[in-house]
Structure 1
Amino acid sequence: MGLSAQFGMDRADFRVRVDTVSVNGELRTEKIVVLLSGSAVFKDPHAISAYVEEWVGCQCAVALES
């Protein structure tokens, strides 16, 4: 289940940024950043971060989009 369905967020109210790093010529995901806007700013950032970290298996940060 994706973020929109899991947390009842409109897809227009969040963006996901993937920070990558090259290790020995191989591209790896270093961190996921979920940027919240609109009504999504009222969702629990700790729950979102934990969900993404379990789902993807890497560090996740949640921030408000400016």
Structure 2
Amino acid sequence: MFPITGKAHYFNQEKALAAITTQGRAYFWRSLCGIVTVSTDKMPMFEPGNWDRCKKYEQKLARRAAA
């Protein structure tokens, strides 16, 4: 699941509570276009929202705004 390669996506944290693993706390992330990933204390997530959105994500946002 991680690291993500290719075009970066806009991720939102999926769970408010972190799970404890051997890698430290695990945080779960999901993008609107369906990509799911996990970050840990040893492998942190890049800053969500600071990356370009993929075309599929932009289309879904446009459809939501039109509805």
Fold conserved between structures, TM > 0.5 = no
**TM-score, structure 1 normalization:** 0.27
Bigger Rg, which one: 2
Q: Which has the higher contact order (CA 8 A, sep 6+)?
A: 2
Name the structure with the higher strand share.
1
The TM-score normalised by the length of structure 2 is: 0.27
